Amino acid sequence: MWQWNKLTNSMNGTNLPFTNGLKNTFLESFNDQGDLHFAVVASQPLTKPVFVSINNLLCEELGLDPGVISSESMLSLMAGDLSELNLQPISLVYSGHQFGVWAGQLGDGRAMTLGELEVKNTNSGETQLWDIQLKGAGTTPYSRFADGRAVLRSSIREYLCSEAMHGLGIASTRALCLVDSKTPVYREEVESAATLCRVARSHIRFGSFEHFHYRNQPDAAKNLADYVISRHFSDWVGEDDRYGNLITHTVTATAKMIAQWQAVGFSHGVMNTDNMSILGDTIDYGPFGFLDVYDPDFICNHSDTNGRYSFKNQPSVGLWNLNALATSLMSLIPSELLVDALKTYEPTFLRVYRELMSTKLGLEEYRHSDETLINNLLALMAENQVDYTLFFRQLCYFSEDQREVRNLFIDREAFDVWVELYLQRLRQQDSSDSERSAIMLQTNPKYILRNYMAQAAIEKAQQGDYSEVNLLLEILQSPFEEHPHANHYAGLPPDWAETISVSCSS
């Protein structure tokens, strides 16, 4: 278990673990360079804040007392009131390619990092720094004429999805708590402003390096790379090949992450280079969506009119983005080493994806002949518009005598043909049906965050009822368990779910 640094500060008589224990190694590293990498910012507190949800599981993992987090003093802090604290929040600058087009300078337009907390693993003794960031606490120099606020609906979606991804075993930013308020914000209509406290290993992006490359500031790019290495890969400090190690790590971690996205049916929706983490973590949850029916052409972002970020395109876009990152590191790494690193992407992606899909099918190992078995199944699911998550969950109970999963298909005879090939493959294994089922049940989730589920939670929360947010948080944190009280979320989505539209502004 991770345990917070015990340094605390008193705010209105309450000990808070978010004060003197916070450091800002990013600010300390670059303060002598002025505003080159960041800007010091001031928060703008929300009016009449109220907790929507506190992530008790994350509190427990980090050794935090949920009672302290739920205090009035912590509520004020999480709503952006830093007036009684000696904190110097910062917002980071970055640039990026958006929908394949160079967008120039961007940056944290509605996010500010309060600092980094040192967390110690009480078992291994290992320490790690975690960024503590408030999203929606007001304008920054990078807000670009926007209000720096986050609306409740999009904050709920990010809060739930970051935990859903963590529950699925996919590297992700997480969120400690979510706060609602009476502060109005103006989008298509008047909505309530919210703040989200994000916890992440890092918020450095591909676009962070692109920013300095395209401004012809190689020294700043080098300093940023040195910072990432010293914070996350201290064993590499001083090594001649440390920058090559960094790009290779980013390539392989990104390939693994996107393979996991594809295996669980997750579509990010806005894979711009400024939304890609240098560590290969899933970051920036906007117009995401999980597959309902299996559709490789699925586009979850209403703003993506050309389908650049469709589900099937995610693996190739990942490589495109990594090429953009490699270009921004040309002042640090010889081109032949960059090419060698990029060449590891496809084999890493395919290896991880094939292993994941094999496990989803209950296969003990991937064999070359399984490629046809997997591809034929996915083609059959697409043709029959079969629900992706529901199919694989029902397949966990499949045997020669139990074939209820067949009922998900319109063309059942075609499915029967595939099943015979599947049975032949299963007979090549020594495991029993029950042994295979037990493994598959821990691989194929019963619950994912479907858009209609998030929408149901949003509509209740907008009326002041946060119960659905917390119910979904509970089941998404352990998506492979049964949760009988939430079975209504384990079946096919309602017909009205198809009418939900999510865009970059959501």
Contact by Cβ (8 Å): 113, 132: yes
Per-residue pLDDT tens digits for 171-197: 999 999 999 999 999 988 999 999 999
Lowest mean pLDDT among 190-204, 271-285, 378-392, 491-505: 491-505
Query: Interior CA angle at 331 toward 328 and 333, to 5°?
Result: 90
At 137 the pLDDT is 95
Rounded to a whole number of angstroms, the CA Rg of the chain reads 23
At 19 the pLDDT is 54
Lowest mean pLDDT among 40-54, 57-71, 458-472: 57-71
At 18 the pLDDT is 52
Confidence of residue 30 (pLDDT cuts 50, 70, 90): confident
Task: List Cβ neighbours of 355 (8 Å cut-off, separation of 6 or more).
Answer: 366
Instruction: Provide the H-helix boundaries in 54-104.
Output: 56-61, 66-69, 72-78
Q: Which whole number is the average pLDDT over 296-300? A: 97
Contact by Cβ (8 Å): 269, 300: yes
At 1 the pLDDT is 32
Please give the structure tokens belonging to residue 25. 């190694």
Q: Which whole number is the average pLDDT over 388-399? A: 97
Per-residue pLDDT tens digits for 82-118: 988 888 899 999 999 999 999 999 999 999 999 887 7
CA distance 279 to 7: 28
Confidence of residue 67 (pLDDT cuts 50, 70, 90): confident
Please give the structure tokens belonging to residue 272. 């711009």
Neighbouring C-alpha atoms within 13 Å toward the C-beta of 289: 30
Per-residue pLDDT tens digits for 3-19: 333 323 333 334 555 55
At 85 the pLDDT is 82
At 192 the pLDDT is 96
Write out the H or E segment, with its range, that includes residue 253: helix 242-264
Residue bearing the bigger pLDDT, 13 or 420: 420
Check residue 497 and report its DSSP letter.
G
At 343 the pLDDT is 98
Q: Which whole number is the average pLDDT over 203-213? A: 97
Q: Which residue type occupies 33?
A: Q
Please give the structure tokens belonging to residue 64. 């935090």
Residue 438 pLDDT greater than 90, yes or no: yes
215 closest CA partner among 474, 426, 36, 369 = 36
The per-residue pLDDT of the chain, averaged, comes to 92
Neighbouring C-alpha atoms within 13 Å toward the C-beta of 216: 0
Q: Which whole number is the average pLDDT over 474-503? A: 89
In DSSP notation, 401-466 reads: S--GGGGG-SSHHHHHHHHHHHHHHHTTS---HHHHHHHHHTTS-S----HHHHHHHHHHHTTT--
CA distance 349 to 347: 5
Confidence of residue 2 (pLDDT cuts 50, 70, 90): very low
Contact by Cβ (8 Å): 321, 206: yes
Contact by Cβ (8 Å): 233, 246: yes
CA distance 122 to 110: 34
Per-residue pLDDT tens digits for 467-477: 999 999 999 99
CA distance 482 to 484: 6
Query: Interior CA angle at 473 toward 468 and 479, to 5°?
Result: 120
Provide the 10 A C-beta neighbour count for residue 499.
10
Per-residue pLDDT tens digits for 142-165: 999 899 999 999 999 999 999 999
Instruction: Provide the H-helix boundaries in 50-199.
Output: 56-61, 66-69, 72-78, 152-167
Please give the structure tokens belonging to residue 109. 């337009």
First CA to last CA across the chain, in angstroms?
35
Per the residue annotation, which of 81, 108, 131, 274 is the catalytic one?
A: 274
At 221 the pLDDT is 96
Please give the structure tokens belonging to residue 376. 């034929």
Query: Interior CA angle at 292 toward 288 and 266, to 5°?
Result: 35
Contact by Cβ (8 Å): 59, 69: yes
* Dihedral-angle region of residue 269 (phi above 0 means left; psi in -120 to 50 means alpha; beta otherwise): left
CA 96: distance to chain centroid? 19
Please give the structure tokens belonging to residue 60. 């427990």
Residue 209 pLDDT greater than 80, yes or no: yes
Q: Which whole number is the average pLDDT over 322-338? A: 98
- Measured in degrees and rounded to the nearest 5, phi and psi for residue 81 equal -90, 100
Residue 201 pLDDT greater than 70, yes or no: yes
Please give the structure tokens belonging to residue 341. 């690193």
Domain boundaries along the sequence of the chain: 2-209, 363-441
At 504 the pLDDT is 62
Alpha-carbon distance values, 167 to 58, 204, 212, 232, 448 (Å): 11, 23, 35, 23, 10
Q: Is 274 a catalytic site residue?
A: yes
Per-residue pLDDT tens digits for 244-257: 999 999 999 999 99
- Match 């067949």 to its residue by tokens: 406
Confidence of residue 368 (pLDDT cuts 50, 70, 90): very high
At 7 the pLDDT is 29
Please give the structure tokens belonging to residue 475. 């089941």
- Match 């960024």 to its residue by tokens: 131
443 closest CA partner among 263, 255, 256, 253 = 263
Q: Which whole number is the average pLDDT over 273-288? A: 97
Please give the structure tokens belonging to residue 504. 């970059």
Contact by Cβ (8 Å): 416, 408: no
CA distance 415 to 419: 6
